[in-house]
Structures are given as structure tokens and as C-alpha cells.
Amino acid sequence: MNQTINLVKYFEIEGTPVSVGPLGAGHINDSFLVKTEEAGKPDYLLQRINHHIFKDVEMLQNNILHVTNHIRKKLIEKGETDIDRQVLAIIPAKDGKLYHFDGENYWRVYLFIPGGKSYDAINPELAYEAGKAFGEFQGYLADIPERLGETIPDFHNMEFRVQQFRDAVAQDAAGRVAASRDLISEIESRAEDMCKIEVWGREGKLPKRINHCDTKVNNVLFDDNGRILCVVDLDTVMPGYVLSDFGDFIRTGANNGAEDDADLNKIGVNLDIFAGYARGYAETAKNFLSPIEIDNLAFGAKLLTFMQTVRFFTDYLNGDTYYKIHFPEHNLQRTYAQLQLLKDLEANYDEMREIVAREFKN
């Protein structure tokens, strides 16, 4: 830990760092809260960037700088105060770079947002606030002048994810295919329908917009009054279909169970949370979404849950090389939990479509 705390000294921080502790439960990067001694000085979020996944750290950090600068400008134009709690602030390294490379790992530092809370389980009111925030986020970024790079190529490309899955089955690197035949056919039976989005994209029916692409429920910070402070975790902000952002929030925020719940009976979609999110999102996004996007938001919930099923399962078949796991069969348990959620979304699909139609008509 001593070594970790020393890393912030490579950055333009104020105050004297005195303690460091792990923060958050992400599957990719490692986050630490670094506290400073002086009451009047900020605390910091130190992150080790997973450069096996984000291979171009320079591009990654430049993207985040462009995104945060643009949002900052929008907030100033709106006359907001307290801006450092409403958008992430990158602290540059003393050598002018947006990260520090220690010979082995890449590190970055943000201002820590005091009083920000993130939840893994929420209620319809918080979902409404989150829906507004992510719609606003997409709206702010609609006119960003810089071209954002794809920090992970084909990140939410369903055809690509299905291909990765088929490659994993063919290679059978961990010898897990023989025991997984039921899951393989569950995935194959849905693959074509799920890939239709990519076909529509190519046909010019479905536009790409700047998306967050990781709208997990714990990637928004709320204040004590249940209002949104800030959207965080900006590594994957890139062009994509809005169905991604809608769907991934529902996948994580509107599930009665956990993402990796061992008890499949707990898993299912909470339609009140679904409706809360749809209402908030409609408020801030209705003016720029096209009819085909609105019409497919409920499909987005199925799509992102299917995509996550495929991604967890592919990682399982590959021998757990991508996601952090906490026990040997974790990716398999995650796969079953996501598949269960998908089945429940399928069972509630008509109702979800009605909810979206109702919320967007108001």
C-alpha cells in the first residue's frame, strides 16, 4: 500500500497523501481512494488501468479528456455551480501526460467526488434520476467536436461478440465445451435475432451516437438527496447504438437479483425500476431520439443482457482471461444468472415495450 500511495506523487495533486484504500467493485480496473491530510485539500481516486484490455492508454486518456472538457463546457453554459462534483476531473501527471507508467502498470488520477454514492441496487426514484442523467449525458456529447477513438474495437458489436463466442467454442481452450452444450444452444438459438441491430446499422436505419457504453448502475454517483451528481467510468465512451446505454442500465439496475446471483429464483426484471428509468430517459432524450430507437429500447434490455451472457460465457470457455473472477466457476455462475435475467426479460417483453411507448408519449 505504501508503494501505491507514493504513485499519486507523480501527479499534480494538492495536499499530503496519508491513506489509500480500495474502492468499487469493477471487473476490469483497480480503484483506490487516496486521502490527503489537510481538511481543505481534495482527496483523489487513483486507478490502475487494465492495459491488456485498454491497449491504447494514450487514446483512452485523450478520449476522457475530450469528453470531460466538453461536458464541463456544457455545465458552465447552463450556469451550474459545483462543477467538480458533476463531471470527472483528470489530474495530469507532473510530466504533462494524462497517466503515469511505472514500468509495469499504467495509472491515472481523478479528483475524488466527496459525498457521491453509488449503489448496486436501487429503487424507481433513483432509476428515474439515472435515466435523466444518461439521456443528458448523450445530449451533451452529441456535438463534441473531437473524434473519439474506439478504446476497445467492436466493443458492443453483437456480431463480433457472437464470433468471439464461436471461436471460443471451436478452440475449447479450457476443455469446458463438452459440459456446456445446453448453454451453447441457448446462445445459438438467439444469435441471429440479436444480431439484427448490426444489420440495421449497416442499412442506415439505426444511427450511432456517442454513448457511455458501460451504464452499469454503479457508474453514476448520487448525492444525499437521491439526485445525480456525476456519471463516472468513462473508459468506453464511444459511438454506438443508444440501445446499449438503455439496455445495460436495465440489465444492472432493474434486476431483482445480483449480476452473478447463485439463486436464480431471485433474478427477474423489476418493471417499476424499468419504468422509472424509461421516464427519466424520455425526459432528456426524447428530443433527439428517432422512432426506431425508441421503438427498440426494450429490445436493448434483451440485447445487452444477451451480450453479457455471451461475454461471460466466452470468457469462461477461454479459461477466464478477461474478467476478474472471485472463485473458479464465477464466469459460469454469471452466465447462468444473466441467461435467467434474459429469459425473464423475454417473458416481460411486451409489457416493457408498452411502458416505453407510454413514457415516450407523455
Binding site for ligand ADP (CB under 6 A): 23-24, 26, 28-29, 31, 45, 88, 110, 112-113, 116, 118, 218-219, 221, 232-233
247 is written with which cell numbers? 439496455
Q: How far is CA 29 from CA 54, 85, 277, 288, in A?
A: 10, 22, 27, 33
Dmax over CA atoms of the chain, in Å, equals 60
Please tell me the distance from the alpha carbon of residue 63 to that of residue 41, in angstroms, as a whole number.
27
Q: Is 219 in the site for Mg ion (CB under 5 A)?
A: yes
What length is written for the chain?
Answer: 362
* Min separation Cβ 213 and ligand GN1, Å: 7
Spatial CA neighbour of 122 closest among 231, 1, 219: 219
* Min separation Cβ 188 and Mg ion, Å: 31
88 or 317: CB nearest ligand ADP: 88
Q: Is 216 in the site for ligand GN1 (CB under 6 A)?
A: yes
Q: Is 308 in the site for ligand GN1 (CB under 6 A)?
A: yes
Please tell me the distance from the alpha carbon of residue 98 to that of residue 104, in angstroms, as a whole number.
16
Q: Is 26 in the site for ligand GN1 (CB under 6 A)?
A: yes
* Min separation Cβ 22 and ligand ADP, Å: 10
Helix axes 297-317, 330-347, angle to 10 degrees: 160
206 or 307: CB nearest ligand ADP: 307
Q: Is 198 in the site for ligand GN1 (CB under 6 A)?
A: no
- Beta-carbon contacts of 268 under 8 Å, excluding residues fewer than 6 positions away, are 255, 256, 257, 340, 341, 344
Question: Residue 139 in contact with residue 76, Cβ under 8 Å?
Answer: no
Residue 236 interface partner, choices ligand GN1, Mg ion, ligand ADP, none, CB cut-off 5-8 Å depending on type = ligand GN1
Please tell me the distance from the alpha carbon of residue 260 to that of residue 26, in angstroms, as a whole number.
13
- The 52-71 site mask, x for binding ligand GN1 (CB under 6 A), equals -x------------------
Q: Is 17 in the site for ligand GN1 (CB under 6 A)?
A: no
Q: Taking contact as CB under 6 A, which single stretch among the options 61-69, 113-121, 142-150, 229-237 is the one that binds ligand GN1?
A: 229-237
Q: Is 233 in the site for Mg ion (CB under 5 A)?
A: yes
Terminal-residue alpha carbon distance, the chain? 53
Q: Is 26 in the site for Mg ion (CB under 5 A)?
A: yes
Question: Residue 133 in contact with residue 229, Cβ under 8 Å?
Answer: no
Residue 308 interface partner, choices ligand GN1, Mg ion, ligand ADP, none, CB cut-off 5-8 Å depending on type = ligand GN1
35 or 117: CB nearest ligand GN1: 117
219 is written with which cell numbers? 457508474
Q: Is 248 in the site for Mg ion (CB under 5 A)?
A: no
DSSP reduced 3-state for 121: coil
The single residue among 4, 10, 27, 288 that binds ligand GN1, judged by CB under 6 A, is 27
Contacts with Mg ion by CB under 5 A lie at 26, 219, 233
